[in-house]
Amino acid sequence: MKKLSLYIFLVLMFCNLGQSSELPICVQQGSDFTKWTNCFGSYTNNDGRTYIGEFGNNPGKRDGIGNSKKVNLPMKYIGEFKNDKPFGKGAFLSSDGKPKRIIYSVMIDDGNPEGFVIEKKPRKNHFDMSFAEVKNGSYEGKVIYIYSNGKVVSGLFKNGKLIQDQSLKECDRNKNFQTYNNCQLVYGIMHSVDGSKYGDDPKNFKGFIYSGEFQDGKPNGFGLVISQMPNDQKIEYMGQLKNGYRDGTGSLTWIELGQEYIGNFKNEVPHGEGIKIIYSEDGIREFTRFGSWNNGKEHGKGFMIDELSYLVWYDEYDNGVQISAN
């Protein structure tokens, strides 16, 4: 019911916003997209690449917000463009709208992911997930891979090649987890709703399960936290943790609500740059918003893409309250 109410709210809100962009429709300038400037439109070029979005001052060049897909590829790019290439905030997502593979980058430079990149690949029960420092589209710095079975592998890369394995040893399950240091735990029960503190069998478990790195007796570094609540609602977080709390870059998914946030966290809540994805009842991606968060609330300017109707909205929030949209 909560999810349905949220969907109705979003539909009503968008219906009241008016046109998708302040730019005029490109077809008013004719059918030749190579001549379009300062407008909103769509085209399919000779090699089968499709684009729906904004055009800037340079005729026929993608510039602004839009989404683009190459023929025969299972993924598409949505986000900001500049000089006909992905540039700025963006993400590579499954082209059919389902929560399959996701590559998120706060900054995409000259068509390649740049900076800190999160990549998710679906498996039978969970996602494989990687966190990587990327330069010019290649791994550069630390890369962490969290497998769907909970194992964490990390290493140091240079020019896309592994130069040092930095994976931690397995934690000793015979010891109290508060003594764990410089080790990794795989699917260990950290806390349950009935008050027990630790166990080994996550089946039919209500509480918190953790897989990942330990430092000084607490989850520190990278890990996966599965929260299975008494009402059967399930929340999954994969990313950086500090002293047991979400802090850094990660992905938080509310399974039953069909919502996902990927980006920066501080003190357990979204804080900084991020992307919010809302899925429909049948698991198809509907709305994707890029923006900033402050202490868990949307704050500042951003933009949202309605992937079903291919509309774009610019908006601005003040500590969770929307103050403008067009």
pLDDT tens digits along 189-210 = 665 554 444 444 445 556 778 8
Q: For position 253, what pLDDT does the model report? A: 87
Q: How far apart are CA 279 and CA 97, in angstroms?
A: 8
- Which of the pair, 31 or 151, is modelled with greater confidence? 31
Tokens standing for residue 137: 């589209």
- The model's confidence at residue 106, banded by pLDDT at 50, 70 and 90, is low
- Residue 6 has φ and ψ, to the nearest 5°, of -65, -40
pLDDT at residue 114 is higher than 80:
no
What distance in Å separates the CA atoms of residue 136 and residue 111, rounded to the nearest whole number? 9
Question: Structure tokens of 47?
Answer: 């090699």
Half-sphere exposure of residue 162, counting CA atoms within 13 Å on the CB side?
Answer: 10
Asked if 267 and 75 touch (Cβ cutoff 8 Å), the reply is no
* Residues near 310 by beta carbon (within 8 Å), at least 6 away in sequence: 20, 42, 52, 67
Helix, strand, coil share of the chain (percent; to 5)? 5, 60, 35
Residues 64-89 have pLDDT tens digits of: 998 888 877 777 888 899 999 888 88
pLDDT at 17 over 70: no
* Predicted local distance difference test score (pLDDT) of residue 295: 95
Most confident of 36-40, 142-146, 163-167: 36-40
Return the pLDDT at 81. 92
* Closest of 253, 298, 303, 304 to residue 99, by C-alpha: 253
Of 283 and 264, the structure prediction assigns the larger pLDDT to: 264
φ, ψ (nearest 5 deg) of residue 34: -70, -10
Q: How far is CA 137 from CA 78, 144, 156, in A?
A: 17, 16, 16
- Predicted TM-score (pTM) of the model is 0.78
Three state DSSP letters for 30-74: CCCHHHCCCEEEEEECCCCCEEEEEECCCCCCEEEEEEEECCCCC
Task: Tell me the backbone φ, ψ of residue 119, rounded to 5 degrees.
Answer: -130, 130
Taking residues 152-158, what's their average pLDDT? 87
Element of type H or E holding 179: none
pLDDT of residue 4: 35
Answer whether residue 39 shows pLDDT above 90: yes
Contact between 189 and 177 (Cβ < 8 Å): no
Average pLDDT over the chain, rounded to an integer? 79
